[in-house]
Amino acid sequence: MTVEQLYEKLCDPCFQNTEEGDLFYNFYIYLYDAEKEYEIRKQIQQFKENLIRPANYVDVLMMNLYDTFCEFMNGLSFGKKHPSYLQYLFDKDAENQEAVMRSLTTKANSKEFYEYIHQRILAHISTETDYKRPYVFLYGIGQMYPLLRTNVFLTNYEAYNEVNKYKIIVFYPGKQVDNTFSLFGCLEDAHAYRATLLIND
Report yes or no: 137 and 60 within 8 Å, Cβ to Cβ.
yes
Number of domains in the chain: 1
Least confident segment among 171-175, 185-189, 191-195: 185-189
> What is the pairing mode between strands 135-139 and 167-177?
parallel
Give the other-Cβ count within 10 Å of 78's Cβ. 16
Mean pLDDT of the chain: 87
Report yes or no: 198 and 6 within 8 Å, Cβ to Cβ.
yes
The pLDDT of residue 100:
92
Q: 69 in helix, strand or coil? A: helix
For residue 24, pLDDT over 80 is answered with no
Give tens-digit pLDDT for 191-200.
555 677 776 5
Predicted model pTM: 0.87
Give tens-digit pLDDT for 116-170.
999 999 999 998 888 999 999 999 988 898 898 888 888 889 889 888 899 999 9
pLDDT-derived band at 22 (thresholds 50, 70, 90) equals low
Report CA-CA distances (Å) from 127 to 52, 61, 66, 162: 15, 12, 24, 16
pLDDT-derived band at 95 (thresholds 50, 70, 90) equals confident
Q: Where are the beta strands (DSSP E) in 9-54?
A: 27-32
Task: Name the CA dihedral angle for 169, 175, 181, 185, rounded to a multiple of 10 degrees.
Answer: -120
Range of the domain at 156: 3-197
Report yes or no: 166 and 156 within 8 Å, Cβ to Cβ.
no
Report yes or no: 183 and 145 within 8 Å, Cβ to Cβ.
yes
DSSP type of residue 165: T
For residue 97, pLDDT over 80 is answered with yes
Q: Where are the beta strands (DSSP E) in 35-142?
A: 61-64, 135-139
